Amino acid sequence: MSAVPVDRPRARPPSVERILAIVRTEKPPASEPAALTDLVRSVIAEERKRLEAGAPATSDQSLADAVVERLRAFAAPPRLAAINATGVIVHTNLGRAPWPEEAIEAARAAAGSLLLEIDSTTGRRGARLRLGEEHLIALTGAEDALVTNNNAAALALAVGLAGRGRGVAVSRGELVEIGGGVRIPEVIRRAGARLVEVGTTNRTRAADFEAALVDGKARLVLRVHPSNFRQAGFTETPQPRAVAELAHRHGALVVDDLGSGALLPTERFGLAHEPTPGERLAAGADLVTFSGDKLVGGPQAGFIVGRSDLIARLRRDPLARAMRPDKVTLAAVAATLGLYRAGVAAVRVPVWRMIAADVVEIGRRTAIVAEAIGPGATVVAVRSTIGGGSLPGETLPSAAVAIRAAGTNGRSLDRLLATLRVGSPVVVGRIEEGRALFDLRTVDPAADQALARAIRAALDVERAARPRAPRSNGR
C-alpha cells in the first residue's frame, strides 16, 4: 500500500520585528522610524508574494540587506543621465534639448535662495525674475515677453485673447496635433473660444480668411507653423504679412505659433530655413509663441513675444499663474538666452553644437570609439535628424559605430540595446538594416570613451548569453 503524501507547510516570511532587529545592527542611514518600518513591511510583502509563487525562501539577512540598500538608494540622487547615441539631436523621450553648462550652473544656484521677486534697489517686491524675458525682447525685437512652463501653455494663453465664445480662424492645413495627443482644435475649445476653419488641407490663401473676419466672426487669426510635419505637392500657404494686414483691417489679432522657434539662421548650418520669431513679428504678428527646449536648446518653457499691451493682459490672466515656471527654470532660461545675446550659442548650446559639428571630426571620433570596442565594431556613414518636432525631414551627414546581428533573427541586437539601457552609463542607440548603430553626432565628445566601455561590456554580456552549439560526438 503506497504512502499518503503529506502536505508540507508553506514557508512564511519573517516578522517585521525580526528584520528590523537585523537592520538596526547594520547601522543604516538615519531614518524616521515610521519610514524604516514601512520599508521593511514592503520588502516582506514582496517576499510573501515570492513564496506564494513557489520560490525558495530568502534568508533574513538578505532581506535586511535589501532594506538597507533601498534606504541608501532613496536618499541618493537618482541616476538618470543617458548617452544619446540615437542620432536624434532633440530626442523627446530623452528629455529633448540637453542644457548648456551655463544653464545647469544657473539652475543649481537658483535652487537656493535668490532675488526671485525682490527689487535689488528698493528691497521691495518686484517683477518675477525678468532677465530671461529681457533677453527675449532683445533677441526678437518684441515690445515685451512672457515665459510660461511650456509652449502649449503659451499657445493656450494667447488664444484666450480672442475672448470666450469668440471665433479663432485657422487654416485647415494647420489644424495639427502638436504632441502628446494635444490638437489645435482642442486647445481653442479649452480656451473658451470657437474654431473657424478656413481654406483647405493643402491650399489656403490670404483671401480665404476674409469671410471668417467680416462682421467680427473671428477675433483672432492663429497661424500654426508646421514644425513637426511637412506637406509636399499641390500646396499653397498665404504670406504672413498678407494675413496680418487683412486681420488688422478687420480689427482681429494675429498669433503665430512657431513651435520649435529658432533663434539662429538654420540655413547657415545646411538646413532649410526655419522662420524666426523676429521675422514673424516684423511680418505683422501681434504675438509669437515658441518652445524653450527644442531649437532654442534650453529647459522646457514656452515663450510669448510681441505687443506690450497684449502681454500685460496675459500677465493678468488667472491662468498665467498656473502656467508660470519655477525659479530653477527661469534661471536656466535666462542663462541659455544669454548665450545668444553673447553671440556664442552655436558653440555653447549643445543642440547647436551638435548641429554644427563637422562630419570629418565626427568620423575621426567614431573610428577611435570603434577601435576601443574591438572586433565586430565598424564605422558607417549615416544621417542624423533634428527631432523634437523641429525641421521635419531635414537630416545631417554623420558617422556611427555599427554592430551587426549575431545569427539571422536580430534578437541579439535587441538584447544588446536592452543591456545598454540598464547599464552604467545608460546608452541609447538604434537598430537599422540589421545593425545596432551608435551615432556620435549626438554624443558629447567627453563621453566617447565611456560609450566605448559600455558597448564593449554589453557585447560581453550578450555573447555570454548566446546558446552554444552542441559539441560533435565524433561520429
pLDDT value, residue 324: 93
Kindly list the distances between the CA atom of residue 347 and the CA atoms of 342, 344, 355, in Å, as whole numbers in the listed order: 11, 6, 10
pLDDT value, residue 227: 73
pLDDT value, residue 126: 66
Give pLDDT tens digits for 196-234: 999 999 999 999 999 999 988 899 999 999 877 777 888
Give pLDDT tens digits for 287-310: 999 999 999 999 999 999 999 999
The whole-chain average pLDDT of the chain stands at 91
pLDDT value, residue 10: 54
pLDDT value, residue 2: 47
pLDDT value, residue 473: 58
Average pLDDT over residues 354-372: 98
Q: Which residues contact 430 (CB under 8 A, 6 or more apart)?
A: 86, 87, 436, 437, 439
pLDDT value, residue 362: 98
Give pLDDT tens digits for 15-60: 999 999 999 888 777 788 899 999 999 999 999 999 999 999 999 9
pLDDT value, residue 299: 97
DSSP output for 13-44: PPPHHHHHHHHHHT-PSP--HHHHHHHHHHHH
Give pLDDT tens digits for 400-445: 999 997 754 567 899 999 999 999 999 999 999 999 999 999 999 9
Q: How confident is the model at residue 474 (pLDDT cuts 50, 70, 90)?
A: low
Answer whether 294's CB lies under 8 Å from 260's CB: yes
Q: How confident is the model at residue 77 (pLDDT cuts 50, 70, 90)?
A: confident
Checking if the pLDDT of 6 tops 90, the result is no
Q: Which of 19-23, 134-138, 183-187 has maximum average pLDDT? A: 134-138
Q: Give the H or E element holding residue 197.
A: strand 194-198
Q: Angle at CA 392, nearest 5°, toward 389 and 398?
A: 105
Give pLDDT tens digits for 231-243: 788 889 999 999 9
pLDDT value, residue 31: 80
Checking if the pLDDT of 249 tops 70, the result is yes
Give pLDDT tens digits for 307-320: 999 999 999 999 99
DSSP output for 382-423: EEEE--TTSSTT-EEEEEEEEEEPSSSS-HHHHHHHHHHHTS
Checking if the pLDDT of 128 tops 50, the result is yes
- Provide the whole-model pTM: 0.87
Domains and CATH numbers, the chain: 24-75 (no CATH), 101-348 (3.40.640.10), 352-465 (3.90.1150.110)
Helices H / strands E in the chain, number of each:
18, 15
% of the chain exceeding 70 in pLDDT = 94
